[in-house]
Amino acid sequence: MHRTHTCGEITAAHIGQEVTLSGWVANRRDHGGIIFIDLRDRYGITQMVFDPQDNETAWKIADTFRSEYVVKLTGKVRHRPDGQTNSNLVTGEIEIITLSAEILAESKTPPFEISDHTTANEEIRFKHRYLDLRRAKVLENVKFRAIMNHFTRNWFTAHWFTEVQTPIFTVSSPEGARDFLIPSRLHNGMFYALPQAPQQYKQLLMVWWIDKYFQIAPCFRDEDPRADRHSCEFYQIDCEMSFVEQEDIFQVAESFVKDLIPGISPEKHIRENKVYRFTHKQAKDLYGSDKPDVRFDLHFEDFTADFKDSGFSVFQGAVATGWVVKAMKLENVAMSRGEIDTITTLAQSHGAKWLAYIIYEAEGPRSPILKFFSPAEMKALEEKLSPKAGDMIFFGAGEYALVTKVLGAVRIALRDKYNLADRSELAFAWVTDFPMFERKPDGTIDFEHNPFSMPHGGAAAFDNPEPTEIYGMQYDLACNGYEILSGSIRNHDIKALIKAFNMVGKGEEEVKEKFGAVYNAFQYGVPPHGGFAFWFDRLLMILKDEENIREVYAFPKSGKAEDVMMNAPNRVDELQLKELWIEIRE
């Protein structure tokens, strides 16, 4: 037997008992010939005392202990001497006089300091992830993922959703991101693909009639890694429902987050305990983003009409071209010349020529462009933005897409610089009514988002002669500036679906060929349906205040899509390739 107790459970109630503990040597102190060891395991720390007077053999063995050795110790529980108790520890009242000791495994000196304050770089930490995981923060993240998995599955199960595990070996899909491929040994020259999402399968489940489906689904996309996108594999809370409308789906997702946050992250709170709503257009208009961070205001006001006849030729010229003028007010800051330069540089990196601003001082507004503004223009600013002394106004003038993008980026930079957002707050916001089609520079029409969404107005919407005015029943959920959910009411009407493809110059044959299973299934009684996918890992990252999504995986891939601990990817034997009917291209 390796232990009678863990290192986290012995208290004053055990005093006088003989116990056996196994764990890691966390810390060693020598005081007047007596050795003190902090013995640690996943559950806690227990103080072990080795006194040559009590047992010289054990004391001698303890003298050979080094950090991170795994040892098995037997001894008697006693009260710590007065003044040495530690009320922060469950085990802080007791210590154990060790009577026998055994080394179960030695340890070399770890290649980096195992502490939350480690300065080791990511590569060395990931190479020895089994040691990196011993840091409290990483342990916490891995445990939290388990808790979130558990909560999520219990929640959906309790709400009558049925978990279905959809295949991981499927077929390459022509839309979306790049697929990962798996060469088939049994079928020469053929390939499986890993699913980018179980989209087709979950729609087939609706044709079946499962009614409410969910799964914490592994998904695979061959995309380049990003801070909020793990390479190779990620997880989504995948969900689909029959006989629902958009509001029904919103209700499910909203109740889930309203239960989830107090359930697993009680230190966070949902802003106003509500979920905001914006159309895609409103989100762009107000925040320059389709995933706005609405923990803080700093929204844009439109001044296009106000500067139509401006003496400031930049604004007037923009309006004359059919472009826009927008502005936002930053409250109560005093930006230095250098800080303004920095934020201007940021705006320029997003394509702006320049960043116009006004500083409101006690003496009144100050700005190089002020002299061009008419009293009516100054009044418009005051009416829409109510600037006070200490505030600043930033402007953007130009093409709509550019202005919203630049001001959106400036807004986020200001958030980070001035801590405008409360880290303990979660601001959820629906972004709805995505345009279904875009007109490309050459005048042709293409899908802007998901071709499989039902448009607002139903199938009849496709009769609109102006495709860019057709909006999908498609929605994202934003949280603190991240997209954490995406979904839609699906177009279950096969004729309407073909109409949608016709609009981008594609025919029925294409739908049949590329989405054959769904095309066939929809012939046999398909219910109206819709659903969503929560980006599980990204939500986890937000809840654990991580800047990089890699930190929320037990064994992450690096920024180069490598597992540096396992050495993946790697070369393989020629024989393996031969069996799979492939060879490496020179």
* Interactions with its own copies, residue window 247-306 (CB under 8 A): none
Nearer to its own copies (CB atom), residue 393 or residue 489 = 489
Smallest CA-to-CA distance from 450 within 467, 434, 439 is with: 434
**Binder of its own copies out of 16, 32, 119, 186 (CB under 8 A):** 186
* Interacting residues with its own copies between 511 and 530 (CB under 8 A): 516-517, 520-528
Interaction of residue 116 with its own copies, rule CB under 8 A: no
Counting contacts by CB under 8 A, is residue 118 touching its own copies?
no
How many residues bind its own copies (CB under 8 A)? The answer is 119
- Footprint of its own copies on residues 27-46 (CB under 8 A)? 40-43
CA dist list (Å): 160 to 153, 163, 210: 11, 10, 10
Among 84, 86, 162, 444, binds its own copies (CB under 8 A): 162
Tokens of 239: 């969900």
State which residue, 15 or 146, has the beta carbon closest to its own copies.
146
Window 302-341: residues binding its own copies (CB under 8 A)? none
Nearer to its own copies, 157 or 313 (CB): 157
- Judge whether 200 and 450 are in contact, CB under 8 Å: no
- Residue 236's φ and ψ, nearest 5 degrees, are -130, 145
Q: Which is nearer to its own copies, 248 or 339 (CB)?
A: 248
Q: Out of 116, 140, 175, 224, which residue is the one contacting its own copies (CB under 8 A)?
A: 224
Options 194-202, 257-265, 431-439, 462-470: segment touching its own copies (CB under 8 A): 194-202
Give yes or no for residue 569 binding its own copies (CB under 8 A). yes
Minimum gap (Å) between residue 482 Cβ and its own copies? 21
Contact 26, 40 (CB under 8 A): yes
CA–CA gap between residue 14 and residue 16 (Å, rounded)? 6
DSSP 296: S
Using rule CB under 8 A, residue 585 touches its own copies: yes
Put the strands of the sheet holding 474-479 in their side by side order: 162-163, 212-221, 232-242, 529-535, 482-489, 474-479, 425-432, 269-279
State the DSSP H helix or E strand holding residue 211, giving kind and residue range, or none if neither: none
> Is residue 214 a contact partner of residue 151, using CB atoms and an 8 Å limit?
no
Q: Which of 12, 34, 413, 561 lies at the binding interface for its own copies (CB under 8 A)?
A: 561
> Which residues are CB-contacts of 9 (< 8 A; sequence separation ≥ 6)?
43, 44, 90, 91
Distance of alpha carbon 493 from alpha carbon 515, whole angstroms:
14
Q: Which of 408, 307, 407, 424 is nearest to 354 (CA)?
A: 407
Which of 29, 60, 79, 150 forms a contact with its own copies (CB under 8 A)?
150
Residues 291, 297, 303, 304, Cα dihedral to 10°:
0
Q: Which is nearer to its own copies, 23 or 396 (CB)?
A: 23
* Minimum CB–partner distance for residue 27 and its own copies (Å): 14
Chain residues 47-66 in contact with its own copies, contact rule CB under 8 A: none
Of 9, 51, 122, 211, the residue at the interface with its own copies (CB under 8 A) is: 211
Does residue number 576 form part of the binding site for its own copies (CB under 8 A)? yes
**Is 130 one of the binding residues for its own copies (CB under 8 A)?**
yes
**Out of 17, 118, 149, 464, the residue judged to bind its own copies by CB under 8 A:** 149
Q: Is 136 in the site for its own copies (CB under 8 A)?
A: no
* Element (DSSP H or E) covering residue 492: none
Residue span 6-25 as binding mask against its own copies, x where in contact by CB under 8 A, dash where not: x---------------x-x-
1 binds its own copies per the rule CB under 8 A: yes
Could you say whether residue 226 binds its own copies (CB under 8 A)?
no
CA 7 to chain centre: 34
Q: SS3 of 173, please?
A: coil
For its own copies, the closer CB: 359 or 521: 521
In sequence order, the 6+-apart residues with CB closer than 8 A to the CB of 443 are none
Distance CA 497, CA 453 (A): 9
Report the C-alpha gap between 113 and 118 in whole angstroms.
6
Applying CB under 8 A, which part among 237-245, 270-278, 446-454, 457-465 lies near its own copies?
237-245
Rounded Cα gap, residues 272 and 57, in angstroms: 64
Q: By CB under 8 A, what part of segment 462-521 binds its own copies?
A: 492-493, 516-517, 520-521
Evaluate whether 531 touches 489 at the Cβ level (below 8 Å): no
Site for its own copies in 76-105 (CB under 8 A): 104-105
For residue 456, how far is the Cα from the chain centroid?
29
Residue 569 preceded by cis peptide, ω within 30: yes
With contact defined as beta carbons under 8 Å apart, do 316 and 307 qualify? yes
What minimum distance in Å lies between the beta carbon of 551 and its own copies?
14
Is 245 an interacting residue with respect to its own copies (CB under 8 A)? yes
Taking the complex as a whole, the smallest distance from the CB of residue 133 to its own copies amounts, in Å, to: 4
* Binding of its own copies by 210 (CB under 8 A): yes
Residue from 59, 220, 300, 394 binding its own copies (CB under 8 A): 220
Q: Which of 75, 218, 408, 435 binds its own copies (CB under 8 A)?
A: 218
Q: What crossing angle do the helices spanning 400-418 and 337-349 adopt, rounded to 10°?
A: 140
Q: Contacting its own copies (CB under 8 A), which of 57, 84, 115, 172?
A: 172
CB of 76 to its own copies, least distance (A): 20
Tokens of 70: 């795994």
Residue 106 within binding range of its own copies, rule CB under 8 A:
yes
> CB of residue 444 vs its own copies: minimum separation in angstroms?
22
